[in-house]
Amino acid sequence: MSTEAQECDKCHRTNVEGKVCIYCKKFFCMDHYYEHMKEEKKHELVRQKRLDKREVVQT
């Protein structure tokens, strides 16, 4: 883990508390992290549904 200041991918602020998205590996400040994760979770659910459908078709 680097001690370097990370820049929020959305608002480009540095020296802010934040997290890295587990899906896209981008860093977001806490404000934008939760906003981003809501969107990512929606996409993840859609991907999961598609995978489930594909598995059903194959069997």
Q: Cα-flanking dihedrals φ and ψ of residue 20, to 5°?
A: -100, 135
pLDDT mean over 30-40: 94
The tokens of 22 are what? 């587990």
Give me the amino acid identity at 11.
C
Question: What is residue 53's predicted lDDT score, i.e. its pLDDT?
Answer: 84
Three-state DSSP class for residue 27: strand
Domain range enclosing 15: 1-59
pLDDT mean over 24-46: 94
Question: What is residue 26's predicted lDDT score, i.e. its pLDDT?
Answer: 95
Q: How far is CA 11 from CA 1, 33, 38, 44, in A?
A: 22, 11, 17, 24
Instruction: Domain count for the chain, please give it.
Output: 1
Greatest mean pLDDT among 2-6, 19-23, 49-53 lies in 19-23
